[in-house]
Every structure is written in C-alpha cells, then in structure tokens.
Amino acid sequence: MSELVASSYGKANVKFLKVKKNPSNPDEQEVLEANVQCLLKGDFDIAYTKADNAPIVPTDTVKNTILVEAKNTDVWPIERFAAHLAKHFTGKYSQVHSVEITIVQSRWSKFPLSNGKVHPHSFRYDGPETKRTFLTYDKFSKKLTLTSAIKDLTVLKSTGSMFYGYNVCDYTTLAPTTDRILSTDVYALWTFDPKAVPTLDSVLQKADEGLFDSTYDKARNTTLEMFALEKSASVQATMYNMSHSILEQVPEVATVSYELPNKHYILFNLEWKGIKGNKELFYPSPDPNGLIRSTVGRKGAAKL
Ligand SMILES: O=c1[nH]c(=O)c2[nH]c(=O)[nH]c2[nH]1
C-alpha cells in the first residue's frame, strides 16, 4: 500500500511588470518586474489519491489571482506583495492551509543623462542580479517565515585576497598565495526574526516603515563594501564578516546566509614562450569552482 506523504501545487513563472506613476508628476515613474511562484498546501489529498478534483483551485486561477492582485495592490516592496498573496489564498479558500511564495525581482535602474540628471522614466537593465523573497505561512499554526535575498551579484577583485595556512597533505597541489583574484556570484539571504515580523499584517506594516528596503540596501552595500575593502583571508572569513556586519546593522534579522562560488582565475604558464613570472594574464576557469556556504546567527539563539 502507498500513501501521499507530501504535496503542494500552484503556478510558477508568473511574470509581470508594474508601472507606478508619481501622482503629482506622472512623468516621474518607477517599474517593478517580477517573477512569482505561488504554491498551495492543504486539503488536496483526494485530488491525488481519488482523482477527485473538487478541492483544486486551478493553477490558472492562481495565476489570474497573482495578476489581478498585482494590478489592484501595492507590489513595492516584494515582501509586501508576498504577504498580501499569502493572506488572500489562506483567507479565501478553506482548503488552503498554507502557502509558499517566491518572488524574484529584476533590477531596472534609472540612469543619468549627459546633463547630469537622472531620467524620470528610462531604465537600464542591471543584468542577471535579482532581489528575492521567500515567504511561507500556515494559517493554523500561524507560523510565518520570511527570507529575502540577493542573487547573482557578480563581483571580482584583482588583488586584496589571500589564501594560505590551509591543511596540506599528500593530495595538496595548491600553492599558498597572499595576492590572488577573488571573484564570486553573491547569493546572500537574510531571514527575519519571527519576533520582529510575527504576522502577515506585521509584514505589511514593516513594509510601510521601510524595513525591507532598508535591509536590502544594507545587505547589498555591506556585501560590496566589505568585498572591496577587506583584505580577504578566505571566502569563508569574508562571508562571515559580511554576515556579522549585517546582523549588527539590522536587529530584525535573525540569520544571514551566503552561498558563494569561488570562481577561479588561473595564471597562464607562458614559459613555453620564454615569459617567466607571468602575474597579469589569467584564464577564467569555468569549472570546477569552489562552493562555500555559511549561516550566521546571533549568539544564544538556537542553531539550525
Ligand atoms: O577562500 C578559499 N577558501 C577555500 O576553502 C579554498 N580552497 C581552495 O582551493 N581555494 C580556496 N579559497
């Protein structure tokens, strides 16, 4: 005999771009391009085990809801929209017990013209970097989790990075260095303390107060600033220091995680051409890459 152990369903890759006009100056606009995934959990077992579709809110309806709610409500910041959708789905349908919402926001930024002024409604695509939020909510336990993130912020420093003093054994070929290239695609995640955002309504309120925008700015600025300024002993030490700094700046954040590929740049050996001691020309090695992860929390809080 078999039994359904777990299930969730919904719509993925629901994409929109929303325009916001400044009411006192319609020429002045903002845009938000998003990719939303919304999964529902609850009393749906008979759909799987008895081929009974009665409880299913079609994924097409989930898609329509995301779009209509995106039109009718404020989607800035994405944490607010995630909380709004969670309220909607768990409130409207008795069979929906919990939701998992992921929103990925593209970066469109205004740019200055030759007159030095930022244009009010022209935007430049900033590349693959995204801002993300992940919200889960269970209406019976009232458990809410909220994590936001930066993904694919690609950085490189051409010096100011070291790696030495590591374990050496009969498998070691790596030479220690006090001067190397350091490059990574930053994936940084920060989880809000449930005591700071205990309910969906508190997410809406904190959005009004600017908590999510200011935390994003601090996380991004800290990542870039420490990457640039710190003489890195290792990816491990640098990511820990970044996490510590974000925790220090934002009391509402409980944990900070980083996932950083170490994208290796390897000096070409040009000795075949009589060129000794090449220190300028590197091979951007596509693979393999180091992959380093950490989660940093506050002392005394439970370990994950
Ligand atoms: O910062 C680093 N951490 C490592 O764990 C590691 N391992 C390695 O080969 N190079 C590096 N660099």
Whether 102 sits among the annotated catalytic residues: the reply is: no
134 labeled part of a ligand binding site: no
Question: Are 139 and 90 within 8 A, CB to CB?
Answer: yes
Q: How remote is the CA of residue 278 from the centroid of ligand 1, in Å?
A: 22
Give pTM, 2 decimals: 0.96
Percentage helix, strand, coil for the chain under 3-state DSSP, each rounded to 5: 25, 40, 35
Residue nearest to atom 8 of ligand 1 (CA): 290
Whether 59 sits among the annotated catalytic residues: the reply is: yes
Q: How remote is the CA of residue 284 from the centroid of ligand 1, in Å?
A: 16
Q: How remote is the CA of residue 173 from the centroid of ligand 1, in Å?
A: 12
59 labeled part of a ligand binding site: yes
60 labeled part of a ligand binding site: yes
Residues with CB under 6 A from ligand 1: 163, 174, 234-236, 262, 290
Alpha carbon dihedral 60, 62, 68, 71, in 10-degree steps, equals -120
Q: What pLDDT score was predicted for residue 300?
A: 87
Ligand 1 atom nearest to CA at 182: 1
Residue nearest to atom 1 of ligand 1 (CA): 234
Collect all residues with Cβ–Cβ distance below 8 Å to 131 and sequence separation of at least 6: 78, 104, 105, 107, 148, 149, 150, 216
Cα 168 to Cα 238: distance, rounded to the nearest angstrom: 22
Cα 187 to Cα 136: distance, rounded to the nearest angstrom: 20
The secondary structure element, H or E, covering residue 241 is: helix 235-249
Residues in the chain, how many? Answer: 304
Cα dist from 271 to 16, 267, 277, 283, whole Å: 54, 12, 8, 15
Read off the tokens for 238. Answer: 């640098």
262 labeled part of a ligand binding site: yes
Q: How remote is the CA of residue 172 from the centroid of ligand 1, in Å?
A: 12
DSSP classification of residue 176: P
Ligand 1 atom nearest to CA at 238: 1
Cα 115 to Cα 135: distance, rounded to the nearest angstrom: 42
How large is the C-alpha radius of gyration of the chain?
23
Q: How remote is the CA of residue 80 from the centroid of ligand 1, in Å?
A: 38
123 labeled part of a ligand binding site: no
Cα dist from 8 to 37, 56, 65, 171, whole Å: 12, 11, 17, 45
Q: Which of 18, 59, 119, 151 is catalytic?
A: 59
Q: Which of 41, 84, 88, 264 is catalytic?
A: 264
Taking Cα atoms as reference points, which of 180, 175, 177, 178 lies closest to residue 159? 180
Collect all residues with Cβ–Cβ distance below 8 Å to 271 and sequence separation of at least 6: none
Whether 147 sits among the annotated catalytic residues: the reply is: no
How many Cβ atoms sit within 10 Å of the Cβ of residue 238? 22
Report all structural domains of the chain as residue ranges with CATH numbers, in order of start. 9-297 (3.10.270.10)
| Residues 47-85 as b or e (16 or more Cβ within 10 Å = b) | beeeeeeebebebeebbebbeebbeeeebebbbbbbbbb
Q: Crossing angle for the helix pair 59-72 and 78-92, nearest 10 degrees?
A: 130
* pLDDT digit string (tens) for the chain, length 304 residues: 999 999 999 999 999 999 999 999 999 999 999 999 999 999 999 999 999 999 999 999 999 999 999 999 999 999 999 999 999 999 999 999 999 999 999 999 999 999 999 999 999 999 999 999 999 999 999 999 999 999 999 999 999 999 999 999 999 999 999 999 999 999 999 999 999 999 999 999 999 999 999 999 999 999 999 999 999 999 999 999 999 999 999 999 999 999 999 999 999 999 999 999 999 999 999 999 999 999 999 998 865 5
Residue nearest to atom 9 of ligand 1 (CA): 174
